[in-house]
Homo-oligomer: A and B are copies of this chain.
Amino acid sequence: MAIFSKTCEYAIRAVFYISHKSASGDRAGLKDIAAGIDSPELYLAKILQDLSRKGLMRSVKGPHGGFYVDADLLARPLSDIVEAVDGFGLFHGCALGLKQCSEINPCPLHEQFKSIRDQISDLLHRTTIGGFNEELLGGLLSLKK
């Protein structure tokens, strides 16, 4: 198992890609993004449409159109993307899948995973969509391969 769904992996990589293009004032077209993050183009289209509808992405149709994020979105936490795509399970669900697992009715792993989940949550709330733009522009970080 991975931490995120494949859909969410594509979403995060695409958002980072679009973000660093936006930082240079460019919009990114679907083909460009799909090539830039090595994802299936038409599947990615669906993901970006979904993020667009949810207000986590902006787009313009027609020649020289494409996807971009504005300053407001650059500052949003990555957790917004993860929640929109994978929901709250990663932050709040029981590791063993129990619906009523809680402090007063804990599963065996409840205590230990509480800390893990909190750290993942903190990490994704602290990290912003635009937070890696310099490193991405400098080629220090990878979004494909």
* A interface residues (Cβ-Cβ under 8 A, vs B): 1-6, 8-10, 12-13, 16, 86-87, 89-90, 93, 95-101, 105-109, 112-113, 115-116, 119-120, 123, 127, 131-132, 135-136, 141-145
Contacts and interface: CB of A to CB of B under 8 A. Distances in A.
Contacts of A8: 1
Copies of this chain, how many?
Answer: 2
Given A112-B127, A116-B116, A116-B119, A12 B96 contact: yes
A7 B9 CA distance: 22
A102 B24 CA distance: 27
Contacts of A127: 109, 112
19 contacts: A1-B2, A1-B4, A1-B86, A1-B89, A1-B90, A2-B90, A2-B97, A3-B95, A9-B96, A10-B97, A98-B144, A100-B145, A105-B142, A106-B142, A108-B131, A108-B136, A108-B141, A109-B127, A113-B123
Nearest to A38: B98
A37 to B, nearest CB: 9
Of all A-B residue pairs in the complex, the 4 with the closest CB atoms, nearest first, are A9-B97, A108-B132, A1-B86, A100-B145
A131 B112 CA distance: 13
A10 B98 CA distance: 10
